[in-house]
Amino acid sequence: MTRSCSPKESLRRVAEDGATLAEQWRNLASLANMHVRKIALGHNERLHRTLSKLKPLLGQTAEAARRGELARQAQDYLRDASERAVLTLDVLRERGNNDIAHEAAGTPPVLLYDYEVILDGRDLSRPVNYFLLKIVPAKGVETRPRKRPYMIIDPRAGHGAGIGGFKPDSQVGVALNNGHPVYFVAFRPQPEPGQTMADVMRAEAEFVAEIRRRHPDAPKPIVVGNCQGGWAALVLAAANPDISGPLVINGAPVAAWSGRLGENPMRYNGGLLGGVVPALLMADLGAGVFDGAHLVSNFEELNPGRNYFGKYYDLFVEPVKGRERFLEFEKWWGGFHFMNEAEIRWIVEEIFVGNKLSRGEARLGGRRLDLKSIRSPIVVFASKGDNITPPQQALNWIADTFTDEHEIRVRGQRIVYMVHENVGHLGIFVSSSIARKEHTEVTSTLKTIEALAPGLYEMTIDDQVGEGDDAHFLVSFHERKIDDLLAIGDNRDEERHFGAVSLLSERGAEIYDMAVRPFVRAAVTATAAETLRNVHPTRARRRLLADANPLMAPVREAARSVERQRKPADPANPFLALEKLWAESIIQTFDFWRDLRDAAHEMKFFGIYGSPLMNRIGASHAYHREQMDPGELGRLPEVEAILLGIDRGGFEVAVIRMLILLADSRGTVRRDRLERSSHMLAKEEPFASLGAEKRAALIREQAIVVEFEPQRAIEVLPRLLPGREDRQRAMQLVETIAGAVDEMEPRTIETLQKMRAALGLPPMFAAQVRPLQDLRESA
């Protein structure tokens, strides 16, 4: 029986819908204005730059014509361009051959390094196509079994594995050069029958356990996750909180609804294409297997100017010099992998359309995945230049998971994030400059991150010391609030419109399962599925240029002939510069139509899902995670228990508390101080004999004490350090870690003076603090 609304209630709803409709039209008008300005200004500026280059070039050609040289220059250019065209076509021919050979070999990882298979997922009780590799260091590089091992999870998002170890300057190379044993999670192109994401998670947990068995004297492994491998690492740690050490999450799309207006069109695909239904249909057309070429095609559409023209023009400019680099990358880019229907369905429903992982509602293998349960320190690397995983998608899960930065501290979590200004998505994993700088500094930081007081930090690289291979960087950690993190993007009001997308996706999947799927599955045979895979445009256009195409037979000999008599045009030839301007104009044309398309998609999305009807339909799915009131944190039973023992403990408790008080007073921690603190906690007694687990527990407890009772935490220090010798030694240790007095901030000096006064010690003076070695000898 339907409950009727009173006239008053009906009027209220009409008023609400009217306000929502008015807001929608205002937003659409504002959005249209923003896109028009952005497209007009951006492309007008690019066009002016092109025209400013064209004018002197036309002058050069006129001067060459006056001297009677223009015809010769044109002839030289045409000969050079035709030779480059033949050489470029030959590279594309080889790319097609490489694709076929790579697939015939089982599409192995494109790692630069040798490796050995340590554990094969097909041998587990629930078989998966994943396997664990141990990377063999290059000659002259030694790893130490007692150093913390790395496990790198590469993305399984259409491509194969290996991008994290693609070059000497890579994540793998950085870790090996620092003496860490490195393990790599790879996967075969075809999933095992019945394989699910829960099976994959369990396999990765077994991989971590195997690494720990092989390195019993080393700290828990660091797990590095790239892109899709990043949220896989978070899932692994949420389901197995005690299994690993720090997590490094690079460019991982976790909060999939987030982004900036006018910049991140990929997040609208779920709403505009029908939610999860297209993925289910593609899997059924593949006889139960989803073709990764569909995902690769989506990535290429994000930047068609680059993917359909720009990279080929770069090759055309220098086909000999650019050959190896082009073929190396394309071997990975064209190594398409597959997923079972259950896998792609979970990914789309739980992350990209449902956004459930970020909101703590995702379920896997019968359990709810709550990112709040992760105990490992987490380092998140994002970039403003990433058009696949913008910083908001990489970072907003933190705001969705924790009430505020105080809860992060109370739960003993350390989350460090770093935002690059311009590197693209793939550059996070393959750029040599990123490996030499950001990844090197992250690797160095991970040695000491567990000595960092719990909280939310931004890691910044402040200065460079030295040049070239001898360069190193000054790194610091700045305490941040959740509001600082959210300020990286726009406000998140528009995310509520994705609730209707999630609901309609669920209903669409139900209709598809009942009314469409039986007919599709009955019509598709294994042969038909294989045919559809072979004719996929992303795959077919590469293989049409291979030797399997009879029309390509003359290309190889023609290319060899050109190589023997190659005569490049003079670099000063004006037609080369004109060619470059032509290429820039082609790319701008691609970009112009891409920008118009993206603007239309965004307008269409908010035109549909910003309506009052859709807001009402999606209200049940547009929820935010229910979070604790900040005032309730201090009333948690575990917090109250810790505060009751504020005056209990000994030397180690006092020193750890004093260090956290110092860190809290600064708001910023330089890595050199963190390294001194880490060295003391790991090597000096009585801290070293505590073990990593006990030290972590003490740091968390004392962080809670400092968070809620900072003044009393100082006042009761004498009870923790009753003896004068212990008081003096404790202060010496703390001041040694704090560094030279002339480098201290006023608040740091003030805090040290308060602690000295509470302990009955004389005020500190601007004398150099005794080095740690002297303290060890005196102790």
Instruction: Concatenate the DSSP letters of all residues of 213-281 into one string.
Output: HH-TTSPPPEEEEETHHHHHHHHHHHHSTTS-S-EEEES---STT---TTT-GGGGHHHHHTTTHHHHH
Convert the pLDDT of each residue in 492-523 to its tens digit: 889 999 999 999 999 999 999 999 999 999 99
DSSP annotation of 352 reads I
Hey, what long-range contacts does 8-16 have (CB within 8 A, 24 or more apart)? Answer: 16/612
Convert the pLDDT of each residue in 72-101 to its tens digit: 999 999 999 999 999 999 999 999 999 999
Pairing mode, if any, of strands 367-368 and 378-383? unpaired
pLDDT of 778 over the 50 cut = no
Convert the pLDDT of each residue in 110-150 to its tens digit: 998 999 999 999 999 999 999 999 999 988 889 999 999 99
First vs last C-alpha separation in the chain: 81
Mean pLDDT of 266-270: 93
Which residues pair with residue 668 across a beta bridge? 478
CA–CA distance, 152 with 156 (Å, rounded to integer):
12
Least Cα distance to 699 among 274, 378, 412 occurs for 412
Convert the pLDDT of each residue in 384-425 to its tens digit: 988 889 999 999 999 999 999 999 998 889 999 999 888 888
The predicted structure's pLDDT at residue 5 = 65
Q: Are the C-beta atoms of 705 and 646 separated by less than 8 Å?
A: yes
Convert the pLDDT of each residue in 162-195 to its tens digit: 887 777 777 888 889 889 999 999 999 999 999 9
pLDDT of 43 over the 70 cut = yes
CA–CA distance, 751 with 532 (Å, rounded to integer):
70
Which residues pair with residue 132 across a beta bridge? 119, 185
Least Cα distance to 451 among 636, 243, 226, 219 occurs for 219
Least Cα distance to 418 among 387, 462, 383 occurs for 383
Q: Is 456 left (phi over 0), alpha (psi -120 to 50) or beta?
A: beta
Res. 1 pLDDT band, cuts 50 70 90: very low
Q: Are the C-beta atoms of 559 and 88 separated by less than 8 Å?
A: no
CA–CA distance, 536 with 470 (Å, rounded to integer):
48
CA–CA distance, 33 with 602 (Å, rounded to integer):
13
The predicted structure's pLDDT at residue 738 = 85
Give the contacts of 527 (CB within 8 A, at least 6 positions apart).
none
Q: Are the C-beta atoms of 473 and 441 separated by less than 8 Å?
A: yes
Least Cα distance to 498 among 256, 254, 265 occurs for 256
68 vs 1, higher pLDDT: 68
CA–CA distance, 39 with 32 (Å, rounded to integer):
11
Give the contacts of 386 (CB within 8 A, at least 6 positions apart).
251, 394, 423, 424, 425, 428
Q: Report the percentage of the chain scoring pLDDT > 90.
A: 65
Q: Are the C-beta atoms of 303 and 254 separated by less than 8 Å?
A: no
Mean pLDDT of 689-705: 88
Convert the pLDDT of each residue in 188-239 to its tens digit: 999 999 999 999 999 999 999 999 999 999 989 999 999 999 999 999 999 9
Q: Report the percentage of the chain scoring pLDDT > 70.
A: 95
- Phi and psi at 298, nearest 5°, equal -60, -45
Averaged pLDDT score across all residues of the chain: 89
Token digits of residue 13: 């709803």
Q: Are the C-beta atoms of 467 and 370 separated by less than 8 Å?
A: no
The predicted structure's pLDDT at residue 772 = 41
Convert the pLDDT of each residue in 415-466 to its tens digit: 999 998 888 887 777 766 666 667 777 777 777 787 888 999 998 876 666 5
> What is the three-class DSSP state of 771?
coil
Convert the pLDDT of each residue in 538-597 to its tens digit: 999 999 999 999 999 999 999 999 999 999 999 999 999 999 999 999 999 999 999 999
Which residues pair with residue 248 across a beta bridge? 224, 379
